[in-house]
Amino acid sequence: MFTGITTDVGEVLEVRQQAEGLHRLRIGCSYEQASIGIGASIACSCVCLTVVETGRDGSRTWFAVDAAAETLRLTTAGRWQKGTRLNLERSLKVGDELGGHIVAGHADGIVELAVREDLPDMARLTFRAPKPLMRFVAQKGSVALDGVSLTVNEAGPDTFSVLIIPHTLHVTTFGPLKVGDLLNIEIDLMARYAARLMETR
């Protein structure tokens, strides 16, 4: 489990096809190598992946993860290449501050940045989402976009907007986002379960 609070911005250093539908990704980060255990879960832009190797590349730590066919198909991981920047978050420990909202690291789909408005003290980003997911997106509710916990500002039939403060623009991959860019979305767990309960009543 995660909180949607980015703790590092990593960079894809290598993408290697291990087998049909299986990619091994080597990701550079600023975490201490000794603190990353084999089998640990790290959220990489909203995708929870399992560490299978760690190492050092000069002064930089790296970890390797495997992304299977389903992950490559349903998320932006299939588009990651050398140089792609990723929002990283280590898994939540009991006693950690819950600064965002409960995030599982299981992306539900992909959204597209439709409009970017740079305001004096923040940016308003409007995303186009798959219609089946929009019933889970509510004004003042929570979503995770590329692993970042955000509050929905406005929600329409197939778009929603969020306001991004300068700090978030600076410490995540959101700063250089442009219209047409694709991001992973994870809907709020509470919304998912509430909808399921309504369906089975």
Q: Which residue range(s) make up the domain with 84?
A: 8-90
Residue range 41-65: mean pLDDT, rounded = 96
Do 120 and 189 fall within a single domain? yes
98 is a domain residue: no
pLDDT, residue 107, reads 94
Do 119 and 184 fall within a single domain? yes
Q: pLDDT, tens digit, for every residue of 88-106?
A: 999 988 777 778 888 999 9
What sign does the dihedral 71-73-77-81 (CA atoms) show?
positive
pLDDT, residue 121, reads 86
The answer to whether residue 191 scores a pLDDT higher than 90 is no
Do 76 and 116 fall within a single domain? no
Q: Please state, in angstroms and rounded to a whole number, the distance separating the CA atoms of residues 171 and 4.
A: 13
pLDDT, residue 94, reads 78
**DSSP per residue over 42-102, as a string?**
EEETTEEEEEEEEEEETTEEEEEEEEEHHHHHHSGGGG--TT-EEEEEEPP-TT----S--
Q: Mean pLDDT in the chain?
A: 94
pLDDT, residue 193, reads 77
pLDDT, residue 190, reads 80
- pLDDT range class, residue 192, cuts 50, 70, 90: confident
For residue 123, give Cα distances in angstroms to 44, 46, 86, 104, 176.
23, 21, 20, 26, 11
pLDDT, residue 141, reads 93
pLDDT, residue 97, reads 78
DSSP-based three-state secondary structure for 112: strand
Do 32 and 61 fall within a single domain? yes
Residue range 6-13: mean pLDDT, rounded = 97
Check residue 2 and report its DSSP letter.
Answer: B
pTM listed for this prediction? 0.93
Q: Please state, in angstroms and rounded to a whole number, the distance separating the CA atoms of residues 154 and 158.
A: 11
3 is a domain residue: no
Q: pLDDT, tens digit, for every residue of 106-155?
A: 999 999 999 999 998 899 999 999 999 999 999 999 999 999 999 999 99
The answer to whether residue 195 scores a pLDDT higher than 80 is no
Residue range 162-180: mean pLDDT, rounded = 96
96 is a domain residue: no
Do 115 and 155 fall within a single domain? yes
- Count of domains observed in the chain: 2
pLDDT, residue 181, reads 98
Do 114 and 84 fall within a single domain? no
Do 37 and 79 fall within a single domain? yes
pLDDT, residue 42, reads 98
pLDDT, residue 84, reads 98
The answer to whether residue 51 scores a pLDDT higher than 80 is yes
CATH of the domain at 68: 2.40.30.20
103 is a domain residue: no
2 is a domain residue: no
